[in-house]
Amino acid sequence: MIYPIVAYGDPVLRKVAKEIKNDGNTDLPKLINDMFETMYLANGIGLAAPQIGLDIRLFVVDGTQLEEEGEDMTTFKKAFINAKILSETGEKWAMEEGCLSIPTVREMVSRHKTLRIRYLDENWQEHEEEFTGMQARIIQHEYDHIQGVLFTDYLNPLKKRLLKGRFNSISNGTVSVDYRMKFPMVKI
Ligand SMILES: [Zn+2]
């Protein structure tokens, strides 16, 4: 199932998402699969559950098509359940980011180079791993989503002011986008 992607301005993107309980009630494998499908159709490399309207601590990443110098991206396809970033270290580095919930906006964001994270995979196996470079950046961006944070929050006040019109056009659905979205200001 392909979900519409929730656009900037929807309150679900601002919630601190809830832990997922392993009570056998949710069909998590199907949901994870659907999230990957939804992400691929929108040409994304990461997607968090709030972006499909669910305030639960789940995100998926797939950077296997990216070629990063000095980084092996070929195995970087994962689901993160109930993730917790334990530490962020290393120098901050800036890179242009975008977000499927904020189409047409791309801005430079500074993030720490390395992180340590604890999470459960789709089989409820616990992992504690270190990621660095591009992989760390993708995880930091998606982790922010389950904390109710968007990459545009890091922009300076002037930049945010300049982008206000664009944010409005994203919220009211007048932005041009080639995947299905749910716009908070559009009544169905
Ligand atoms: Zn995003």
- Residue 167 in any domain: the answer is yes
Measure the CA–CA gap between 13 and 188, rounded to whole angstroms: 19
- Residue 184 in any domain: the answer is no
CA atoms in the 13 A half-sphere facing the CB of 8:
24
Whether residue 25 has pLDDT greater than 80: no
* Amino acid at the residue 86: L
Mean pLDDT of all residues in the chain? 96
* Amino acid at the residue 52: I
Alpha carbon distances (Å) from 48 to 10, 75, 104, 163? 14, 19, 19, 23
Distance 100 CA to ligand 1 centre (A): 6
- Residue 125 in any domain: the answer is yes
Cβ count near 148 (within 10 Å): 16
Best CA proximity match to 118, nearest among 149, 76, 87: 87
Q: Which domain holds residue 111?
A: 5-178
**Bridge-based pairing state of the strands 107-120 and 181-182:** unpaired
Whether residue 26 has pLDDT greater than 80: no
Distance 95 CA to ligand 1 centre (A): 14
- Residue 185 in any domain: the answer is no
Looking at per-residue pLDDT, the higher value among 22 and 169 belongs to: 169
- What's residue 125's pLDDT? 95
Q: In what order do the strands lie in the sheet with 46-48?
A: 46-48, 58-62, 77-97, 107-120, 126-132
Whether residue 188 has pLDDT greater than 70: no
- Residue 186 in any domain: the answer is no
- Residue 92 in any domain: the answer is yes
Whole-prediction pTM? 0.96
Measure the CA–CA gap between 121 and 110, rounded to whole angstroms: 27
Share of the chain above pLDDT 90, in %: 91
- Residue 187 in any domain: the answer is no
Reported as a single tens digit per residue, the pLDDT across 42-90 is 999 999 999 999 999 999 999 999 998 888 999 999 999 999 999 999 9
Enzyme catalytic residues: 142
- Residue 35 in any domain: the answer is yes
Distance 34 CA to ligand 1 centre (A): 17
**Band of pLDDT at residue 35, cut at 50, 70 and 90:** very high
Whether residue 94 has pLDDT greater than 90: yes
Query: Can you tell me the mean pLDDT for 3-31?
Result: 93
Cβ count near 20 (within 10 Å): 18
Distance 23 CA to ligand 1 centre (A): 28
Best CA proximity match to 112, nearest among 99, 96, 95, 97: 95
- What's residue 175's pLDDT? 94
Share of the chain above pLDDT 70, in %: 99
Which CATH number belongs to the domain containing residue 143 in this structure? 3.90.45.10
Measure the CA–CA gap between 132 and 41, rounded to whole angstroms: 27
Q: Give the chain's domain count.
A: 1
- What's residue 22's pLDDT? 87
